[in-house]
Structure formats: structure tokens, C-alpha cells
Chain A
Amino acid sequence: MFSDFAYLIVGLPVLAFVLCLFFGWHLPRGGGFMTALATFVGLIISWGIYKEMPALPNGILHQSMPWFANFNVGILVDPLAISMLLMVTFVVTLIHTYANAYMDGDPGAARYFAEAALFTASMLGLIYSDNLLQLFIFWELVGLCSYLLIGFWYRKPSAAAAAKKAFLTTRVGDVLFLLGIVLLYNNMASLNLHLAPGEYLLQFPVIYKYLALIPPTQLTFIALCLLGGAVGKSGQFPLHVWLPDAMEGPTTVSAMIHAATMVTAGVYLVARMFPLFYAAPNALTVVALVGAFTALFAATMGLTSFDIKRVLAFSTVSQLGFMMAGLGVGSVVGAASVGISIFHLIGHSFFKALLFLCAGSVIHAVGTNDMREMGGVGKYMKWTAYTMLIGGASLAGFPLTTGFFSKDEIIVTAYEYGLAQSFIPYLFLVLAAILTAIYTFRLWFVAFTGEPRSDYHKHESPWLMLGPLCILAVFALGFGIVAQGGFYEYVGTNFDHYGVDFAELGIIGGHVHGEEITGAEEVTEEGGVAKEGIVGEEGKVTREEEPSEPWYIQILPIIIALGGILVAALFYYLHKFDPSMVTSERDPIRKILLKGYYQHEIYTQWFAEKVIYGTSIVCNMIDIKIVDGALNWISEVLVAFGGGVRKVQTGVVQNYITAVMLGVVVLVVVIEIALQVGFV
């Protein structure tokens, strides 16, 4: 019965958007309770659908209606989508609740909640779209909401600039995404498929079904274009520059859009199209490399920043890199990597939303983002300090927290990938994991321990803010240990509901050889039950043997996490070492890191101002001199000709009469001659 109300998951936030927009001004706290309530009802419906799904045909919920031409609108809820739906509705409900207190007193509160509701609706719509075009529409909508909310304090020039930067940077990716959709559509259309009624070309089930018929080179192109969209949205190198700047928005926006939900849309897109990527191994390799590089690259920048939110933003970029890499190394483990990556995505949403909300709580009290002015906050804000400690431990991968299980699995999978193909992603990810632990605890120690370094308001935040923190802390701590095995199984087998044959796709991609396939099939035939019993997290198709990692690979993540925390503690808590022993103000490496590898400068001063501006000047010249010039020349010739001819119009009637007369005479003479000669 909940399935019949699936449309309400998007519908209610849209309703809340309209109500807040028009009536929020007259309601207490900008009508924020409506936004929170709408999302909460979405959570209930999602849970109901989750419970009903096994009873539905194929175990998925699919509703669709025709739109125009070859397109449709529809709802597709499969294990991948439902886990995202539950996570988004849950986390966003908590963030909206928190925002009710956080945004209290802001004159734009109604606008905030209207935009937040619109964002919620678009994000949920993005998740359960059943075709790529509809997904793209919601994809653009979340981009718009991100723009609006980053620039929420639009009178602040830096916020307006950050909003513009976010919009333009993601636009680069979105253009590629659209190109990918067009390419995919063209390829699908050129197959001349005989689609059953209710099937449309860009529907995901249809794409999965006929994927194998598209030429491999085309598949690689399409996959790379889609990856371009994901890189823009998920803040991967080289389009990550907008994400740290996006912290100009209210902290709840950072938690909701730029940590927990929207930025994961890119990862979700790659996961959603994973069969396509699997059939295009070159693109998958690019995914792995981009992800792993971003993970390390962003982590290094997180080390030096003093802005509490920017540190978290860099860590978000870094963790998104982990998720991408988790998908990218999927060429060795197949669809199971979707489970691994999405598990990290969801765990990350819990602890990163928690961290941002804690940071918001601190900023709310202290009134600044700068860690150097905090210090000792933990003494006055016990709840915030401990929930943030839990979030930080989870992010750093402290054993038995959520982040430990999810990140560990990605790193181990990267090791397997290393055995099969290349150790580069593994190396990057391990280094990134060490840095993650260090910068996370640097943040915590600097902000919450020691002595106050400035005079700030020493008070704890209201319970409306602390409640969501505590709930998120419970999930950041316990979700991993409770959900890990079952979750891999649940999401990792997502594509089995569509009957996607990963073995066949692997042959297209060329990274699974014929004999391995037969082996895999034998295993499946001999005893699926036994196999599932042993390796629960795997799909049916992939590894035909369980690679046994050496013990030091297994426990390496624990050492990494504890070591990183120890290093941070030595520097910033126990003060055994001083940071100035390793580095100084004039250290070039430190300067590069603090400046974010000068990427902003490279993009704006060099790329935008030199290359783009130079190209624009040349294009402008061509436009004015050649294109416009040709047109102007033609018109000038015509005008000159007309100017000559119009002299005939003397205004003297007699001249006209003379002309008529001469004309008649000539005509008569011509006719006479013609008659004489005999033409007529």
C-alpha cells in the first residue's frame, strides 16, 4: 500500500516548498516544521516501500507513464534506490529539525526552508527516477538549489561568488553528462529495438537489458561523459574547487547538500550506471584513478586549513574520492563494489552530516569558523564535543565504527584490484586514510581541547540542535557493525533484479576471460547457497575464488586509523611535538597546501583570464570581422546599388510620362520586328 504513495516522497516536499515560499513569512521559524514533516513522512513511506519490496514483481517497484515521444516519467525503486531514499529522508529530516533551531531569527528563514524543501524534493526525485532524462532534470534541479543555498546570504560578496563558482564548475560536468545521455540515446535508437509497451529507450531496465549490443568504443565514450557529470557533481579532481568554497552557505546547507546528499549524486550516478561502466573497463580504470587521486589530493589540503568547515569540506571531497575509487576497482569484484561503495556513501552521510552539524553547533556558539580562535570548546559544550568525537572517530576509521567497516572494505578491494591490475589506487587510498585520521583529530583537538584562545560565548546549543546530533552519533557509531554484511548483499545484488549478466558484460569489456566465466558459472550452478554462506557480500557472477589477503593487509586499516590519531594527539593534544618542528610559515609545501595547490589561481587567473579570455578575443574578432563583416559587406553593396537606382525617382511627373512613352515605343517596335521576322 505504501508503494501506491511513492510519488508523495517527492510530492510532499514540493508542497512544503510552495507553502514555505508563500506563507512561511507568517509562520514561526519560517515554517521550517513543514519542511521537516514532509521529509519525515517521506521517510515513513520509504520504510513502508522497503518492507513491501520483496513481495513486488522482480523485487523492485517500477511505475511509469508516457511523457512525450520516446520518453516517460516514472519511479524506480530497487535496493540501490531504497537505501539511498532511506538515508536521504532520514538524514535530511534530522538536518531540517536542526535547522529549525539554527536558522531561528534569520530574516530569510522562510526562504531557507522553501529552498531546502525544493532541494529535498529534487534529491529524492533524482534517486528514484526510472530513466536517465528524468534523472538529469532532477540533477539540474539539485544544482540549482545548491546554487541558491550557497548564496543564501547573497549580500555577502564571498557567498555570491562561491555560489556562482559552484554553479559554473558543476555546469562543466553537466554538459558532459548531457552529451553522454545524447550519445547513449543515439546508440540505443540506432539498435532499432522492438520495445514492449511501457518500455522506453532511456529507462534504466531497458538500458541494462540492451547494453551489450552497443559497440564497446561507444560505451567507453558514454561512460566517460557520464563520469564527467559525476566528477562535477561529486567534487572530484579537477572539478572539486567549488566544494570548499561552497561552505559559504549556512552550515545546515553544507551538512545537507555538500556532505550527505547532493555531492553523493555523482557516485550514485556511477553506481546506477555500473553495468555500463563494467562493460567499458577503460572508463572504470579512469573512475578508480580519479577517485583515488582525489582522495589523497583533498586529504593533503585538509591538513593545513584553519577553517573548521573547510577542513570538513576537504574531507568530504576526499571521502567521495574513496567512494569513486570503490566503484572504480569494481572491475575485479563486479557488482559487489556497488554495495561496498554505497555502504561507504551511507555511512559517510551519517558521520559527515554529524560532523557538519557539530561544527554548526560550535559556530553557532563561538561565532567564527576559525579553529585558531576556538580551543577548549569541549569544556562548555559537552554534548557537541562528544558527538563530534564519535563522528571524527568514524571518519578516521576508528575500529568498530561505521567508517572503519566501510573504508576498510574499499581499501581491501583496492588491494585486490592491485593484485589484478595496478597498485596505484591502493597506495593513494592508504595514504589518504592516514591523512584523514590526522586532520580529523587535529580538528577535534585544536577546537575542543586546550585553553580558550579568544573570548567567545560559552554556552551549549539548544536541544532542538543536540537531538539530531545524538541520533546521528548513534548511527555513525553503530550502523556499520549492524548493517555491514547484509548491506553488501542487499545492494551488491541490485542488478540481479534486472537480470544483468555481468559475465557477458565482462567479456565485452575484455577484463574477464572466457575460462574464468565458465568457472564462475560452475560455482553458481554447483551451489549458490554454499557460496552465499561463505562470501555473503558478493554477487553471483564475480570472483570465482576468494582471494585471501595477507593478515597485514587485513589489519592495516586499523593501524592506519590508530596511527593517524596518535600523530594528531602527539602534536595537538599532548604537545609532545610542535607543528613548527615539521613546518613553518615559509615552508613552500605548507604554502602550496594552504593555497589549495594554487588551483583557484590556475583556474581563474591563468585558465579563465588568459586562455578563455584570449580565446574569446580571437572568437570575437572572427565574429566581428568575418561573420558580421561578410553580412555587412553584402548589405553595403545592396544599399549602394539602391542609392544609385533611386535617382530615377525624380518627383517630376513629366519624366515618368516620358519614360512610359519610351517604354511603349520600344515595346511596339519590338513587337513589330517580331511580327516581321515571324517569331510570333
Chain B
Amino acid sequence: MIPVELYILLSSIMFTLGLYGLVTQRNGIKLMMCIELLLNSANINLVAFSANQPNANGQVFALFSIALAAAEAGVGFAILISLYRLYGTIDLDNINALRW
């Protein structure tokens, strides 16, 4: 039985990587991928705690979360395609019409 701390360590590393990518990257697609990393690190936590205890709630919740992530990715990519049609780029540094 793998101790639960290792799962938490794994999810922490994934979360930090995702966050790092989110802050440093400029490409829209890469940002989407980083967000997926964040979500999945949370999913790992849910499943790990659920498996550690005799309780399936967390795993069911992880399934919800995956479905949610799929929907979020769909909306996100649709926005990115629109942006690309409008600006000819998906570099988010150049897309700042809503700033002050």
C-alpha cells in the first residue's frame, strides 16, 4: 500500500508545475494545458483520500470533476479559436482589449 503522503507529494508537484506554467507561459493552448494540470492534481488528491478511507464519495466526485474539465476545455478552445480568427494570434500578451 502506497502511503497517502506520496500521492499528496505528487499532486503538489503537479499543482506547482501547473501554476508555474500559468504564470510564465503566454500561449493560450499552453495555458489551457496548465489549467488541466491544476484540475488533475486536485483529482489525484480526491481519489487518494477516497482510496485510503473505505468511502467512494471522492472517486465519484473526481468523475464529476473530469466531466467538468472536459466541458471547460471545450469552451476554452472555442474561445481560443474565436480569438485566433479575430486577432490572428493566440498569444495572450497581444490580446488585451479589456485592460484599462
Binding site for B on A (CB under 8 A): 646-654, 657-658, 661
B100 in contact with A654 (CB, 8 Å): no
* Contacting residues of chain B (53-81) with chain A, CB-CB under 8 angstroms: none
A137–B95 CA distance with the chains assembled, in angstroms = 67
A646–B99 CA distance with the chains assembled, in angstroms = 9
In this complex, how many residues of chain B approach chain A with their Cβ under 8 Å: the count is: 14
A647 in contact with B100 (CB, 8 Å): yes
On whether A652 and B92 interact (CB within 8 A), knowing A658-B23, A661-B19, the answer reads yes
In this complex, what residue of B is CB-closest to A654?
A: B23
> Distance (Å) between the CB of B38 and the closest chain A CB?
10
* Contacting residues of chain B (82-100) with chain A, CB-CB under 8 angstroms: 92-93, 95-100
In this complex, what residue of A is CB-closest to B26?
A: A654
In the assembled complex, 13 residue pairs joining A and B whose CB atoms fall closer than 8 Å, in A order, are A646-B100, A647-B100, A648-B100, A649-B99, A650-B96, A651-B97, A651-B98, A651-B100, A653-B92, A657-B19, A657-B22, A657-B23, A661-B19
A653–B34 CA distance with the chains assembled, in angstroms = 13
A651 CB contacts on chain B under 8 angstroms: 95-100
B31 CB contacts on chain A under 8 angstroms: 653
In this complex, what residue of A is CB-closest to B25?
A: A654
B19 in contact with A652 (CB, 8 Å): no
A657–B19 CA distance with the chains assembled, in angstroms = 9
Binding site for A on B (CB under 8 A): 19, 22-24, 26, 31, 92-93, 95-100
A661 CB contacts on chain B under 8 angstroms: 19, 23
> Distance (Å) between the CB of A117 and the closest chain B CB?
67
How many A-B residue pairs lie within 8 Å, measured between CB atoms?
A: 31
A229–B23 CA distance with the chains assembled, in angstroms = 80
The 5 A-B residue pairs whose C-beta atoms are closest, nearest first, are A651-B99, A651-B96, A646-B100, A649-B100, A654-B23
14 new A-B contacts at CB < 8 Å, known A651-B100, A657-B23? A646-B100, A647-B100, A649-B99, A650-B96, A650-B99, A651-B97, A651-B99, A652-B92, A652-B99, A653-B31, A654-B24, A657-B19, A661-B19, A661-B23
In this complex, what residue of A is CB-closest to B95?
A: A651
A654–B99 CA distance with the chains assembled, in angstroms = 13
In this complex, what residue of A is CB-closest to B93?
A: A652
> Chain B contact residues: over half helix, strand or loop, or mixed?
loop
A650 CB contacts on chain B under 8 angstroms: 96, 99-100
> Distance (Å) between the CB of B79 and the closest chain A CB?
12
B23 CB contacts on chain A under 8 angstroms: 654, 657-658, 661
A649–B93 CA distance with the chains assembled, in angstroms = 14
A648 CB contacts on chain B under 8 angstroms: 100
B96 CB contacts on chain A under 8 angstroms: 650-652
> Distance (Å) between the CB of A664 and the closest chain B CB?
10
A649 in contact with B22 (CB, 8 Å): no
CB contact between A654 and one of B22, B95, B97 (< 8 Å): that residue: B22
B24 CB contacts on chain A under 8 angstroms: 654
A647–B24 CA distance with the chains assembled, in angstroms = 21
In this complex, what residue of A is CB-closest to B24?
A: A654
B99 CB contacts on chain A under 8 angstroms: 649-652
A650–B23 CA distance with the chains assembled, in angstroms = 14
B22 CB contacts on chain A under 8 angstroms: 654, 657
B92 CB contacts on chain A under 8 angstroms: 652-653
A646 CB contacts on chain B under 8 angstroms: 100
B26 CB contacts on chain A under 8 angstroms: 654
> Distance (Å) between the CB of B56 and the closest chain A CB?
29
> Distance (Å) between the CB of B68 and the closest chain A CB?
19
> Distance (Å) between the CB of B47 and the closest chain A CB?
23
B95 CB contacts on chain A under 8 angstroms: 651
A626–B24 CA distance with the chains assembled, in angstroms = 53
A657–B35 CA distance with the chains assembled, in angstroms = 11
A647–B100 CA distance with the chains assembled, in angstroms = 6
A393–B71 CA distance with the chains assembled, in angstroms = 106
A658 CB contacts on chain B under 8 angstroms: 23
A647–B16 CA distance with the chains assembled, in angstroms = 28
B98 CB contacts on chain A under 8 angstroms: 649, 651
In this complex, what residue of B is CB-closest to A643?
A: B100
A657 CB contacts on chain B under 8 angstroms: 19, 22-23
B100 CB contacts on chain A under 8 angstroms: 646-651
In this complex, what residue of A is CB-closest to B22?
A: A657
> Distance (Å) between the CB of B54 and the closest chain A CB?
29
In this complex, what residue of B is CB-closest to A655?
A: B23
In this complex, what residue of A is CB-closest to B34?
A: A657
> Distance (Å) between the CB of B35 and the closest chain A CB?
10
A647 CB contacts on chain B under 8 angstroms: 100
A658–B95 CA distance with the chains assembled, in angstroms = 18
A648–B100 CA distance with the chains assembled, in angstroms = 8
> Distance (Å) between the CB of B8 and the closest chain A CB?
16
A675–B19 CA distance with the chains assembled, in angstroms = 27
> Distance (Å) between the CB of A646 and the closest chain B CB?
4
A649 CB contacts on chain B under 8 angstroms: 98-100
A654 CB contacts on chain B under 8 angstroms: 22-24, 26
A202–B23 CA distance with the chains assembled, in angstroms = 79
A647–B98 CA distance with the chains assembled, in angstroms = 12
A646–B95 CA distance with the chains assembled, in angstroms = 18
A661–B95 CA distance with the chains assembled, in angstroms = 22
Q: Max chain A CB contacts within 10 Å: which of B19, B95, B96, B100?
A: B100
A653–B97 CA distance with the chains assembled, in angstroms = 12
> Distance (Å) between the CB of A333 and the closest chain B CB?
85
> Distance (Å) between the CB of A232 and the closest chain B CB?
61
A647–B99 CA distance with the chains assembled, in angstroms = 8
A653–B95 CA distance with the chains assembled, in angstroms = 10
A649–B100 CA distance with the chains assembled, in angstroms = 6
A648–B95 CA distance with the chains assembled, in angstroms = 16
> Distance (Å) between the CB of A663 and the closest chain B CB?
13
